[in-house]
């Protein structure tokens, strides 16, 4: 049954012509070059899809300092009703920890090395340091705030973030070594001492230090 001109105009107005006719083309000749091209096409598609998956991970960039300020303002209103004073925020290329808050300078430092390894931790680190603005120590009040806003108490560890110890102490009684970044004044072996109390019989002896190693290298 043929459609009248009026019916065709009505169908066009309603946009009911949703299907396009199939385009039938003459197949390419079955040559060896066509065979190679057809076999290579699935491999090329697979490689391109793999690149699409891995490219975002390789191209991951950290937020700019301006974006960190925006994130700070957002969390300030979300969790603290905008009551936190706005500090300075910067990346530190030297520190190996996730972050730090310097109250004397009203400064939040974000570890560049750490977040290049763990870029997904940016928001968590910023929230952690924001709590330090009102709670400097990791006390019960700090832990309660961290639980309330969903911030971690400890950062992740990675072998490349571990600094060589500046001091190495040893117990002459059991031979246990204690690598430390800070110098120990009055400390005894935790294994040989009882009750966690200092025992001068098992006082730790300085075995090696960064200064000694530097002097050895100079010689």
What percent of the chain has a predicted confidence (pLDDT) above 90?
47
- Sorted by sequence, the CB contacts under 8 Å of residue 103 that are 6+ apart come out as 132, 133, 136
pTM: predicted TM-score of the whole model, two decimal places: 0.53
pLDDT at 134: 96
Concatenated DSSP letters for 108-176? EEEEHHHHHH-GGGHHHHHHHHHHHTT--S-SHHHHHHHHHHT--SS----GGGPPPPSEEEE-TTT--
Between 45 and 166, the higher pLDDT residue: 166
Query: pLDDT tens-digit profile of 73-127?
Result: 999 999 999 999 999 999 999 888 899 999 999 999 999 999 999 999 999 999 9
The pair of three-digit structure tokens given for residue 99, joined into one six-digit string = 């972050």
Within the chain, which residue ranges are assigned CATH 3.30.2010.10?
65-160
Class of domain 65-160: alpha beta
Is the model's pLDDT at 36 over the cut of 60? no
How far, rounded to the nearest angstrom, does the alpha carbon of residue 164 sit from its chain's CA centroid?
Answer: 22
pLDDT at 58: 33
Dihedral, 170, 171, 172, 176 alpha carbons, nearest 10: -80
Query: pLDDT tens-digit profile of 123-145?
Result: 999 999 999 999 999 999 999 99
């Amino acid at each position: 049954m043929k459609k009248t001109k009026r019916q065709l105009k009505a169908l066009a107005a309603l946009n009911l012509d949703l299907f396009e006719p199939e385009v039938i083309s003459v197949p390419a000749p079955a040559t060896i070059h066509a065979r190679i091209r057809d076999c290579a096409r699935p491999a090329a598609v697979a490689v391109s899809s793999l690149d699409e998956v891995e490219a975002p991970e390789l191209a991951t960039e950290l937020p700019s300092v301006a974006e960190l300020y925006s994130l700070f303002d957002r969390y300030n209103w979300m969790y603290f009703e905008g009551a936190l004073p706005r500090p300075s925020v910067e990346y530190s290329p030297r520190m190996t920890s996730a972050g730090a808050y310097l109250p004397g300078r009203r400064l939040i430092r974000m570890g560049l090395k750490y977040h290049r390894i763990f870029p997904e931790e940016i928001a968590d680190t910023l929230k952690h340091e924001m709590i330090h603005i009102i709670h400097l120590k990791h006390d019960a009040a700090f832990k309660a705030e961290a639980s309330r806003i969903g911030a971690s108490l400890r950062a992740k560890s990675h072998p490349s973030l571990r600094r060589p110890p500046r001091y190495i102490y040893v117990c002459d009684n059991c031979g246990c070594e204690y690598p430390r970044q800070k110098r120990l004044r009055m400390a005894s072996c935790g294994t040989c001492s009882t009750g966690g109390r200092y025992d001068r019989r098992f006082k730790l002896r300085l075995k090696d230090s960064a200064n000694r190693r530097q002097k050895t290298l100079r010689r």
